[in-house]
Amino acid sequence: MNKNPYAGLYIHVPFCAQKCRYCDFYSFPKGEEYFEIYKNRVIEAIEFYGKKYARSYNSLYFGGGTPLLLGEKHLCSIMEAAKPYLTADAEVTAEGNPGVSERADFKKLREAGINRLSFGLQSSNDKELSALGRIHSAKEAAETVKAAQNAGFDNISLDLMLGIPYQTEKTLLESINFCDSLGVSHISSYMLKIEDTTPLAKSELRFLCADEEKSADLYLFACEELSKRGFEQYEISNFAKGGKRSFHNTRYWLDDEYIGIGPSAHSFMEGRRFYTDRNINDFLNVSFEKNEKEESSGGNWEEFAMLRLRLSEGLDVSELEKLFPEVSGAEILEKAKPFEAPGLLKISGSIISFTPKGFLLSNALTAEILY
């Protein structure tokens, strides 16, 4: 059912300066010995999938890990290999962590075609940063953002984390004001989820994290305060100023196609979802096709509806009926109506959209509405 003639490209860079206490992503500290061969393998993968699917990409996202840790030399080489497959107006994002020690040459990255940066701030409170195992300070974060802006980047995102140790509404407000004062155009605000495999789950610090009720309060507080400062909420955890939404991430919620390269990366192409194992050696040494693990078929009506309900614009059941004639939009609207009065969602004609309160219960609400 995909209507977008273009696909997206995601490149996972699993290297970081230090593993944070809460992180469950596939990443490991440093790994300079891998940088050169990893770059070369990524370039091979770009060419392999470029030939296999013969598609142009209108977004490219370097995620991680800390992609900027690779440095401008390797990132520029990857960009050079990707250029033949990128549209002229492609959004190209690279993630990084604040701090002088990890700062790549932003000017060279801008010249290479990277036009958006996303930094993992998490908090502007140094005590909270230390509890999370972050190695930057608020001062270093401000310096990093300013350096990127001076190099010509005008599309910068910062991550904020909710429910972390020591956080209060006061310190969260300070973090929001800190982001706003830097003139960034995008904020991703996620609630901390303590994964069993992380050091935080085994630390006494876990008892200092907000409980479910307090996390919900912090989320609603963040939504309200970000709105006051002109950040439009367009997805459960994402807020943008000046229309600068993350185009690449939005394609996930629109059920558009994308290729993922690197260990732990996921793909959705031609109705098929597949992923690569969390194993750097397999990525480097096993053929790309043999390394693909089947996840599921994709693009069915349930998936389409579920992903659209993540967006503030919501699900248009009339569009759903056109794409999937077997679905009754009237039935879905009827199931949604009881949740309008409590303020969990809004119904406008054929469109169902969750409120911030509804987003807090999105999994349960989606199940009630669709099934």
Q: List phi, psi (to 5°) of 61.
A: -130, 120
Is residue 298 pLDDT above 60, yes or no? yes
> What mean pLDDT value characterizes the chain?
92
Same domain flag for 72 and 207: yes
H helix or E strand, kind and range, residue 93: strand 86-96
pLDDT at residue 123, rounded to an integer: 96
Averaged pLDDT, 301-319: 96
Same domain flag for 248 and 320: no
Q: How far apart are CA 44 and CA 145, in angstroms?
A: 32
Specify the pTM: 0.94
Same domain flag for 243 and 311: no
Cβ atoms of 75 and 112 closer than 8 Å: yes
Task: Among 196, 218, 253, give the residue marking a domain's end.
Answer: 253
Same domain flag for 142 and 241: yes
Which residue's structure tokens are 């001062």? 139
Averaged pLDDT, 235-255: 95
- The identity of residue 142, as a single letter, is A
Q: What is the token pair recorded at 293?
A: 């693990």
Task: Give the three-state DSSP class for 197.
Answer: coil
Task: Among 238, 253, 268, give the residue marking a domain's end.
Answer: 253
Same domain flag for 234 and 155: yes
Number of domains in the chain: 2
Same domain flag for 344 and 237: no
Model pLDDT for residues 316-329, shown as the tens digit of each residue? 999 999 999 999 99
Residue 283 lies in a domain: no
Q: List phi, psi (to 5°) of 253.
A: -80, -15
What CATH number should be reported for the domain holding residue 353?
A: 1.10.10.920
pLDDT at residue 352, rounded to an integer: 98
Cβ atoms of 102 and 95 closer than 8 Å: no
Averaged pLDDT, 199-221: 84
Averaged pLDDT, 20-29: 78
Same domain flag for 305 and 248: no
- Of 18-22, 173-177, 189-193, 323-327, the range with the lowest mean pLDDT is 18-22
Q: How confident is the model at residue 100 (pLDDT cuts 50, 70, 90)?
A: low
Model pLDDT for residues 123-142, shown as the tens digit of each residue? 999 999 999 888 889 999 99
Residue 61 lies in a domain: yes
Is residue 1 pLDDT above 70, yes or no? no
Averaged pLDDT, 250-269: 95
Same domain flag for 94 and 200: yes
Q: How far apart are CA 136 and CA 116, in angstroms?
A: 21
pLDDT at residue 101, rounded to an integer: 47
Same domain flag for 225 and 317: no
What CATH number should be reported for the domain holding residue 116?
A: 3.80.30.20
Same domain flag for 366 and 222: no
Q: How confident is the model at residue 99 (pLDDT cuts 50, 70, 90)?
A: confident
Domain interval for residue 190: 7-253
Q: How confident is the model at residue 2 (pLDDT cuts 50, 70, 90)?
A: low
pLDDT at residue 249, rounded to an integer: 96
Same domain flag for 245 and 364: no
Quick one: which of 317, 322, 273 has its CA closest to 299? Answer: 273
Is residue 3 pLDDT above 70, yes or no? no
pLDDT at residue 27, rounded to an integer: 82
